[in-house]
Amino acid sequence: MPNRTVFFVSDGTGITAETFGGAILAQFEVNLHCVRLPFVDTVDKAHQTVRQINQAGAHDNKRPIVFTTLANEDVFRVISEGCEGMLMDMFGTFVNPLETELGIKSNHRIGRFSDASKSKQYQSRIDAINFSLDHDDGQSHRDLASSDVILVGVSRSGKTPTSLYLAMQYGLKASNYPLIPEDFERQDLPPALKPHQKKLFGLTILPERLSEIRNERRPNSKYASIENCRHEVREAEAMMRRSGIRWLSTTTKSIEEISTTILQELRPERLAY
- Tens digits of residue pLDDT in 32-84: 999 999 999 999 999 999 999 999 999 999 999 999 999 899 999 999 999 99
pLDDT for the residue numbered 117:
58
This prediction's pTM = 0.74
Count Cβ neighbours within 10 Å for each residue of 116-136 and write b for 16 or more, e otherwise: eeeeeeeeebeebbebbeebb
pLDDT for the residue numbered 110:
62
Distances (CA, A) of 150 to 155, 163, 171, 172, 226: 14, 8, 14, 10, 27
pLDDT for the residue numbered 106:
80
Distances (CA, A) of 204 to 169, 251, 255, 257: 22, 8, 13, 14
pLDDT for the residue numbered 50:
98
pLDDT for the residue numbered 273:
55
pLDDT for the residue numbered 228:
98
Q: Average pLDDT of each block of 10 consecutive residues along the chain (273 residues)?
A: 88 89 91 94 97 96 95 94 95 86 80 60 89 92 92 96 93 95 94 94 98 96 97 97 96 94 88 65
pLDDT for the residue numbered 116:
57
Q: How many other C-beta atoms can be found within 10 angstroms of the C-beta atom of residue 230?
A: 15
pLDDT for the residue numbered 96:
82
